Amino acid sequence: MAFDKMELKDIEVWDGNFAAAQALRQCQIDVVAAYPITPSTPIVEGYAKFLADNYVEGEFVMVESEHAAMSGCIGAAAAGGRVATATSSQGFALMVETLYQASGMRLPIVLNVVNRALAAPLNVNGDHSDMYLGRDSGWIQFDAYCPQNAYDLNFIAFRVSEDHGIRLPAMVHQDGFMTSHTAQGVHTISDDDAYNFVGDFKPMNDMLDFEHPVTHGVQTEEDWHFEHKARQHNDLMTKVFPKIEEVFTDFEKLTGRKYNIVEKYDTEDADVAVVCMGTSVETAREVATEMRAKGIKAGVVGIRVIRPFPFMQIAEALKDIKAIATLDRSAPGGTVGMLFNEMAGCMFNLEKRPMLCGKIYGLGGRDLTKAHLVELFTELQANVDAGKITTPLQQFIGVRGPKLSYL
């Protein structure tokens, strides 16, 4: 071991970016090819500083755009290294072309996406637009609600994506500024424990194996492409969840922190529930607790793994709830929000179909306050009391001017 170890306290005060950077250091990433963009710059900046200070044995590649950053990561991963990078919003949008290559070539890259709104109008604050943009790219997507999650999920993402049966790239999402620049106490894992949890990188079909030459990224026309995509989808649908469950269990043994594919909060006896992602989950939990004191049986479902989408687990968690609201933090662009769509899909065939309405909130970093959520839970309870949906299916929360609602 030619690099230095870092002595961490049990609890360090880190923001989400620095927590992710520390996770990249502890995993001993071989190659980071990155291009800076607000608000994810400190992740790769932090890695570069650890590299310069001899805490990591690796390579930092400075490229001229995010497209080149992901291309560099794909090259490094195909050559047989542990690779990670970070990006946001417009950079993520520029990466999209190569994201599909990474997942199709089955390369285990971990991408830290700090969610930020997509222009125009240009905006550096957080919403989930870029997370939604990457949802069909064939990557595994984890969602962090706080710096602690951002730190932990990086280790989990490496374990899952580098498994030889899976070999699919993974994204770890955190909310721009809300998580990435808000310092909180983070329970740390020691360098040795963290590295042993992730394990040594075991290459597969790597290009630097000169005794078994391979061609990566070959062309297939109509006679093979479908089979490749089918294989990728089959692995996403059948292999990823069992592996994630296994890694979550291992992680709990190591740290005592339990993660679930679907984070349920007070849903066992609830009448009303909201389904949301990102930092809103924590706000919603707090409000749900207050609503219980007022006599409204409120629950919260947070989605930890966005892709592959946990249809069955969500349907199981929500089957007895009477009224549900989905909170989408991305401009719907002429349809219902993604979460509303997915929830409608997974609950359509339930025997007792809950009432479902979709809310659009927090675009461009607009705050979702407790007052909003109190109003929302009250409205859901009114639906339950009336026994039918009394409000439009899609509403905008927190937008100035006259109320916006559709359908």
Partner 1 sequence: MIKKGWDEFEIGAMLRTFDGSINDIAGTSQDDRSYSENSSYTASVADWRLIKPVFNKDYCIDCQFCWIYCPDVSIISRDKKMIGVDMDHCKGCGICVEVCPTNPKSLLMFPEQAEEEAEIASWPAKDEEK
Contacting positions for partner 1 (CB under 8 A):
104-107, 167, 205, 211-218, 220, 223, 226-228, 230-232, 234-235
Residue 172 contacts residue 150 (beta carbons within 8 Å): yes
- Contacts of residue 158, defined as CB under 8 A and 6 or more positions apart, other chains included, come to 27, 82, 108, 110, 170, 198
Smaller CB distance to partner 1: residue 215 or 349? 215
Query: Which secondary structure element, helix H or strand E, spans residue 154, and what is its range?
Result: helix 147-161
Please tell me the total number of residues recorded for the chain in this structure: 407
Smaller CB distance to partner 1: residue 183 or 207? 207
The minimum distance between CB 204 and partner 1, in angstroms, equals: 8
CA-to-CA distance for 194 and 199, rounded, in angstroms?
A: 8
CA-to-CA distance for 265 and 155, rounded, in angstroms?
A: 24
Backbone angles phi, psi at 305, to 5 degrees: -115, 115
Smaller CB distance to partner 1: residue 214 or 404? 214
Instruction: Tell the residue number behind the tokens 């899976």, with chain if given.
Output: 166
Smaller CB distance to partner 1: residue 221 or 351? 221
Residue 73 contacts residue 95 (beta carbons within 8 Å): no
The minimum distance between CB 79 and partner 1, in angstroms, equals: 13
Half-sphere exposure (Cβ direction) of 11: Cα atoms closer than 13 Å: 3
- Contacts of residue 134, defined as CB under 8 A and 6 or more positions apart, other chains included, come to 92, 96, 99, 113, 141, 171
Residue 391 contacts residue 379 (beta carbons within 8 Å): yes
Instruction: Tell the residue number behind the tokens 């790597």, with chain if given.
Output: 206
The minimum distance between CB 163 and partner 1, in angstroms, equals: 12
